[in-house]
Structure 1
Amino acid sequence: MAPRKVSDAEPRRSGRIAALPAAVALVEAAEKKPKAAAKAKVKATKKRSAEDLDEDAKKGETSAAKKAKADVEEEEEEEEDGDVALTRIELGGNLPSVTLKNEKGEDIQVADLAAEKGVILFLVPKADTPGCTNQACGFRDIYPDFTSLNFDVYCLSADSPTAQTKWQTKKELPYPLISDPKRILITALGAGEGGKTKRSHFIFEKGGKLVDKKLPVTPADSPKLALAFVKSLN
């Protein structure tokens, strides 16, 4: 009997064994996907954090710039309005450098009022009211006595220039009136507490030094006491 021939072909592999490399590749690919996704997520988070930081920094710079601008504008408004607190003026102190308006609406520099003569400032709570009219007319009636002693008289109040002009015309007041609606000078003189003006008067010698004050004072006594003190200086 003739012997069987051995086939030259490669022996057939098992299907299960042949599939192993493909299965391993799938497992490795599946393992790589989560890792890649995690890396991508971390990268995106870092990028977003950096962008947020940049945005926060920009916002911070913008807020700081806005605050600085607001502070400057506020200071400019205060300067324009003349809304500046003055140091309290005590005996021996001087007329402050502040600009107010007279009854005509004209600017006056308070510090210059006593450059050539002595100055009497009498303060009234409100123009054209009984007590204030009594005080103002008292200074009106003896006004020549003050001028003969080289003193100027001024009425100071928080009334508007318009209200002061009407009162001045109505009562024929011969001296200027000074409008201090924000009570800047009035408060510096110690007569503006509580948002009101206290009836008073202040006497400054030539050069602007405060030498006498009466706070408070009655409407009738104010002119008489002021004149008596001015006479005592001479």
Structure 2
Amino acid sequence: MSEAIVATSVPAADTPMSPSAVKETVSAPTAEGAPAAPVEEASEATDEQAAEKEVKETKAPSRRSTRISSKSQPELKETPKPKRAPSTKKRAVEDSSEGTKATKKVYPSEAGPALGSFLPELTLKSEKEVDVEVSLLANKKGVILFLVPKADTPGCTNQACGFRDIYAEFTSAEYDVYCVSADPPAAQSKWQEKKSLPYGLLSDPDRKLISALGANDKGKTKRSHFVFAKAEEGAAGKGKLIEKNIGVKPVER
């Protein structure tokens, strides 16, 4: 009888088992009071699937909200940056530079003396460092003063050599010739010897005579010519201005 029970409870090898039968077979206890391991694995798989479904449902709305929020954001326009005011340090430098310019020595530029004016009363050094009283230069002869910007430079040398070449004409007309510049006597003496200049040179480093003759331009000498007549009797040895040319070219005499 036991063999008959065993034979009826075990299915044949070729007979397929229905899903319900498999489920019942898997879930059947292997021993009294102890659940089978496959039941726990099936429940865990079900829990994982449920968790994954919740995650998908949770993420989907967030992606939609991200797209919506990106579309709803207004277009941002770049705000122009305000211009910065110049720094205090820069303004201080500019102010100090303006102060420096204001305190620089400025030489006035004048129109020069009027015709008929006398030679100014000034004392200058010659190229030999001898004192020369300017107001008395026309005491015995007429005097020609020609002014140059700087000794031994091309333009000034051209001008000085021009007076050298016709110097005899001036002396025959009873006129003395003097070259005036702001150079020191030593530089004038060297230039005189180098170019064989036959006339005297007057050093005016402070530009006193140059300014009095109206040939000073912001610390630079305007190339100029002045002719003073011989002093008349009773004029205290002072010659009068009879011709002036301010701002001439080197070739002009």
Q: 2-side partners of 1:111 and 1:181: how far apart?
A: 18
What displacement does 1:132 show? Answer: 0.2
Show the 5 A alignment for 1:1-234.
89-207=113-231, 208-221=239-252, 223=253
Measured after TM superposition, the shift of residue 92 of structure 1 is 1.1
User: Aligned-residue CA RMSD in angstroms?
Assistant: 1.5
Give the TM-score of the pair, scaled to structure 1.
0.57
Please give the alpha-carbon distance, in whole angstroms, between the structure 1 residues aligned to 2:217 and 2:116. 21
Q: 2:146 is aligned with what amino acid?
A: F
Q: How far 1:193 moved relative to its partner?
A: 2.3
Aligned residues: 137
Q: Which has the larger radius of gyration?
A: 2
Residue 211 of structure 1: how far off its partner (Å)? 0.5
CA distance in structure 2 between the aligned counterparts of 1:115 and 1:166, rounded to whole angstroms: 28
CA distance in 2, matches of 1:141, 1:132: 14
The AA in structure 2 aligned to 1:216 is G
Mind listing any 5+ residue stretches in structure 2 that lack a counterpart?
1-111, 232-238
- Residue segments in structure 1 that go unaligned for 5+ positions in a row: 1-87, 224-234
Q: Report the alpha carbon displacement of residue 164 of structure 1 after superposing the two structures with TM.
A: 0.1
* CA–CA separation in structure 1 for the residues paired with 2:214 and 2:207: 10
Greater share of helix: 1
- What is the CA–CA distance in structure 2 between the aligned matches of 1:155 and 1:205, rounded to whole Å? 17
Any conservation in 2 of the 1:90–1:189 contact (CA below 8 Å)? no
2:119, 2:190 → 1: CA distance? 27
Match of 2:218, SS state, is helix
TM-score (norm 2): 0.53
Contact 1:127 1:157 in 2 (8 A): yes
- Cα distance in 1 for residues equivalent to 2:114 and 2:145: 14
Please state how far the C-alpha of 1:172 moved relative to its aligned partner. Answer: 0.2
Opposite residue 213 of structure 1, the aligned amino acid is K
